[in-house]
Every structure is written in structure tokens, then in C-alpha cells.
Structure 1
Amino acid sequence: MKNRRSFIKNVAGLSASLSLFATMSGQAKEKRAPRRPLILCSRGEEWAEKVLRPGWNVLEAGGDILDAVEKSAQVTELDPEDQSVGYGGLPNEDGVVQLDASFMDGRTHNCGSVGALENIKTPSSVARLVMERTDHIHLVGEGAREFARAHGFKEENLLTDKSRKIWLRWKENLSDKDDRFPPKDGNYDLDKRPTGTINILALDAKGDLAGCTTTSGLFGKLPGRIGDSPIIGAGLYVDNEVGAAGATGRGEEILRTCGSFFVVEQMRAGKSPTEACEALCQRIVKINGGPDKVDFNDKIVAINKDGEAGCASIRGNKNKPPQAAIITTAGVEIIEGSYLIETK
């Protein structure tokens, strides 16, 4: 897919940036023949093959799209080296890992999610069970954990030694007025609070869509904080008539713009996936008062019914553009998306 990462170099003002955003989107829009099946993940090259391949194997064998999405989502959830999702996720303020996830079936608009789930490695699987085995959509906290245990999920400590050390270093550096002293060595850069999420979006050979978003949320969050990831229409939305979208980054901004629903509706109105993702970036910047007021980042990914895929972020640069990855019959492909505000 054509690289659209550098469509804006510098942003002098909001109106100028949004105008240029729209102009460049129109110039770069590509038409492709429908590509089915397809799976997208919101990670780049480092994770693409290992996340996408397990789900692809399910689809290639004729399996159900929900099984494919779940299989790919579990890869990062079960990997202790990933500090943003599932086992080994970065903890909240109290040092407790609380996980969020959502699952949605485009064929039925059925959906399920869990929030502030503790001691269960694969919240994506629990979210799917909420969707399939209850008349509810959202379970949180102790209720979500009891539901998972009732369905045979094993409780385990999700805080790995690596995550614990990152949390402890963060606590030790919160204030120079307390009695904690950070170690003299160590290589944890906590100038920026780590965040992390993964979106899995899929389109099968029949044209059906499904998706999942899973996360450990904002590092050091207040206990019980729920971000956008488990909220249908914010961190994930799937519509079989149109397409699917998912979001990562600052969840509060995605929540107050109904981000993923907004992107799907932009595609319904005729925008390509990348154009629809760009439109959400524009909206978030606008409601925050312009580029000078934005000190956070959000990234949005999307696919449509024709198998087109795209992504965009609020902030980026030529050395670090937003990325997503897809897998089709042609293999794994890395997508470099567009960004609104050039950063150093």
C-alpha cells in the first residue's frame, strides 16, 4: 500500500491542517479489487507475523471468523514480554494488573466486554463469552472475574517481575518529597507513561466482519479506571454492512468522540478506511482546541467490506509513522498510515 505518512510536515493552525489533511487524502486514495479474507492488527512489523498468522490459519482452514480473531488476540495477551496487554501488562497505581477487552460480531451486532478484570490472562476470551453466553454486554471487576472462573478460566498473578520493576521505578520517581529512593542503575524511561493496546479486525471470505480490542490500559491508572478499549463504539466497532474500526492511545479522547463508531460511519458515508481514521484525528484535535493543545496521541485502524485497510494517528513523523499490519492470501503487509501533527 502506498506510503501516506508525510502528507503533513508542519501544522501552523487547525484550519490549515484540516484542509491539507483532506486534500492529501483525496490525492492518495487508492482503489483495489476486494481482498477477502483479511486480518488486521494494530501493531507493526515486530508483531505482525506472530499475531496475524494464528488467526489466518483458522480462516485458511475454513474456521469461524470469531475463532480467528480470538486466536490472534491471545498472542499478545499470553506473551509476558509485551507490557501492554494481558500477562505481564503494566499495572495500576496500586501495582495490580487490571485488564480490559471487547469483542464484536459484525454479522449480528452482538458484542461483549470486560473491564478491570484481574488474574485472568486472556480477557479477549472472557469478553467473547460475555457476548455469547449472557444477555449482557459489559461485566467489570469482581463480577467479570467470577464469570471467568465459572467458565473454567484459571486465576494467575499477571504481574511479571519485569512489570513489577517498572511499576516500582515509577513509584519511586513520583515525588522527591517522599521516602522512596530510586536505584542508581536501571534503564526504564518513564518520562512518558506507557500505554498499549492491540486491535484485531477481520474479514472472511464470505464478507463477514468481526473484531477485538484488548489492553492493560494506562500504566499507573487509578484502580478501577476503564478506558475506551472495552466500550463498544469507542475502542471497537464492527458493522457487517460497512467495516470495522479500533483505537489505541489516550482512551479518554476516544471515549468522548465515540471514536470507532465515528470511523465506521465515515466509511458508510463513502470515505476510505484511512480517510475515515484521519477524520477522527481531525475531530479530536478540533474539540481539544487545536494542535497546540494536544500533548497526547491516538491511533485508529480500520478495514472496510472490500478488504481495504488503513490507519492514521494524531501525531507522528517520517521516522515513526503510524503502522498496522494485514495478512491476506498474498502474505503479511505492513501499512504505514498518515498523521496530522509532525513531531520531533
Structure 2
Amino acid sequence: MTFGTIATWRMAHDSVVEATKLLESGTNASDALEVAIKQVEDYPFYKSVGYGGLPNAKGILEMDAAFMNGDTFQIGAVAGIVDIKNPISVAKKLSEEKFNSFLVGEGATQYAKDEGFEVKEMLTERAKKIWEKRIEDMKSKQLNPYDGHDTVGVVTLDQMGSMSVGTSSSGLFMKKTGRVGDSPLSGSGFYVDSTIGGAAATGLGEDLMKGILSYEIVRKMSEGLSPQEACDQTVYPFHDLLTKRYGKAGAFSLIAMNKKGEWGVATNVEFTFSVANDTTKPTIFMANRGENQTTSITPITKEWLDAYEKRIKAPIE
């Protein structure tokens, strides 16, 4: 039976491995997706998601997450949630609500507490040190405060043909209090329809939300395009249009998978992702923008992977 998972960034690879095992054993798409994203949220060395994520300008870690069921179109989302261990689980729970399915700030945090979700201090000492160092660098070196906006986005397909999509992010490092990017916004940060496929985005939310790229990729797949064709024909024309109209385009990358387990990606920066299906074991790839609005995709090297592991765990001086 067909099944599959695709996720943004190297940080999600171990989660793709776990989700693949679950999907292979018959777990449904929604539960496999939740497990996958929770694993990323729980790892303290990922600076842009969950525990260990980098805080806003005030030193507060505000997190965003969203979940969508491709069978029913049920959506749940949180934005600016604070000190809740797994925002994706709160978003998934909210998707079951007929009303009040997207909560922000204190409302999202209070809902999670009321529903019994685990409360946890999510700002690690390591993340706090990075924040303090950025504050000093801004004063002494006149640096731009903003840095880092890597959302984990995951699309899952189970053996029954059901699909789900989810996102989780601590957002832009040093963002203003209350800032929300594209990650919890339907159509922009994510979209899925089990009869077609799903897509998710990562990158600079302020620019991603200028287009409805995740929805547009799914729409193009509904017209018969492969996931790769849909990604290429959505991302690069929008990048070029945004550059022409707005003067510039921030970094963004999108992933997609259709109901057959076929996948695609497109990006305007160097971008890693992990993918697996019933015929291919979990593999990390590197994507870059290629020629003629296409995407160049190659497996990552051991040297790159070793350097990555060393970099994310390097001491904060």
C-alpha cells in the first residue's frame, strides 16, 4: 500500500524515519504527523522550533503551530503560545473544535492549560545565551536583529489514502512581541486535500504570506501536474513577481506530496528536506534553484551532515 512523508529541513529527518515506521505499520496520517512534529519540538538544539527555539526581542519564546486534516479540511492553529511543551498537539486538538479553532497569545496558552497539555519552560539556557549575545552584537556591531525563520513542515500520507499537514515554529528570531508569520495561516503556510495532496512552507513569513503558495501548489496538482511541476510552477514565478513588484523576495522553500506518494520541492535558497515513501527509505536531500525555473536536487554528503551536527551543537561563546 502507498504511504509517504516529506518534511522541511535536516532537523526533521529523524522524525521522517519515525513517521515512516508508523505509517508502514498502519498508523493514520494525523497521528504519524503529530509524532513527527513533536519529536522536532522536543529537541533542544533546533533553534527555530519548540524547546530550544529562539525568543522574541523581549526574550520570550512565542511559538506558532498548525494542523490540517486532508479528509475533512479540519484546521487547528495557535500563534504566540508560551511555555506549552508541544504546540502541534494543541493545534491538532483545536482542529476538532467547530468554533474557536485558531487561538492566539494568552488565549492559546490558557486553552492548552485548561485542556491538560503539559506546561514547560521552553526557553533553554542555550537559547537565552544566543539571545543575550545577539543583544550585545546589535549594540556593538550595529547588526540587523532578525535572523532565523526555519519552520518544520510535514506532509503525511497513510495506507488508507488519508493525508495530513502540520507546521511548528518559534518564528523569526528577535521578532516583535505578537509577530506571527505564515506558519499557522491556511493556504500560505500549509494546505492539504486527501484527494489531491498537500504542501507546506518554510522561510520568511512576511513574504510567504504575500502569496498563497501552499494552496496554489495543491491546486496545480489537482489539474494534473506532478508535485515537482506544481512546486516549480508556483514558487519561481512568485519569487520573480514579488521581486518585480516589491523589490525583493525573502528566503522561502516549499515541499509537496500527492496522494500517490510522489513528492516535489522548490526553493530560492539552499534548502534541505527529508522524504520517504513505500518505495524509498528516508533520505535527506539538498535543493537549490536550478535553471529555467526548475529545482536542482541532490543527496547530501556525509561531510555536510557532519558539519551540520557540529554546528548546531557548538558551544555558545
TM-score normalised according to structure 1 size: 0.79
Look up the SS of the partner of 1:285 in the other structure.
helix
Q: What CA deviation, in whole Å up to 9, does each residue of 1:43-70 have, x standing for no partner?
A: 23x641x111222232233222211000
Q: Which structure 1 residue ranges, 4+ long, deviate > 6 Å from structure 2?
A: 189-192
Deviation readout 1:123-168 (Å, 9 max, x if unpaired): 1000001001452331011110111001111222111111101111
SS in 1 for 2:268: strand
Q: Distance in 2 between matches of 1:160 and 1:199?
A: 22
From 3, 25, 43, give the equivalent of 1:79: 43
1:36 and 2:2 are equivalent in the alignment: yes
**Aligned residue in 1 for 2:27:** 63
1:227 and 1:256, CA in 2 relative to 1: closer, same or farther beyond 3 A?
same
Q: Map 1:1-344 onto structure 2 (within 5 A).
A: 36-44=2-10, 47-48=12-13, 50-176=14-140, 193-290=147-244, 293-294=247-248, 296-316=250-270, 322-329=271-278, 330-339=280-289
Unaligned runs of 5+ in 2: 296-317
Check 1:253–1:55 CA distance in 2 against 1; reply closer, same or farther (3 A cut): same
Quote the RMSD (CA, aligned, Å).
Answer: 2.4
In structure 2, the CA distance between the partners of 1:171 and 1:39, relative to structure 1 (3 Å rule), is same
Residue 250 of structure 1 and its aligned partner are, at CA, apart by: 0.6
> Secondary structure in 2 aligned to 1:289?
helix
CA distance in 2, matches of 1:133, 1:192: 35
Give me the whole-angstrom Cα distance separating, in 2, the residues matched to 1:37 and 1:264: 18
- Give SS of 2:283's match: strand
Matched residue type, 2:166: C
Query: 5+ unaligned residues in a row in structure 1: which ranges?
Result: 1-34, 179-188, 317-321
Q: Report the secondary structure of 1:315's partner residue.
A: coil
SS at match of 1:132: coil
Matches of 1:139 and 1:283, distance apart in 2: 33
* C-alpha spacing 1:289/1:295, structure 2 compared with 1 (3 Å): closer
User: 2:174 & 2:190 partners in 1: Cα distance?
Assistant: 23
Taking the aligned partners of 1:338 and 1:166, their CA distance within structure 2 comes to 28
Q: Which has the larger radius of gyration?
A: 1
* 1:199–1:213 Cα contact (<8 Å) kept: yes
AA at the equivalent of 2:254: I
Equivalent pairs counted in the alignment come to 291
Tell me, in whole angstroms, the C-alpha distance in 1 between the residues paired with 2:17 and 2:144: 32
State the TM-score, normalizing by the size of structure 2. 0.85
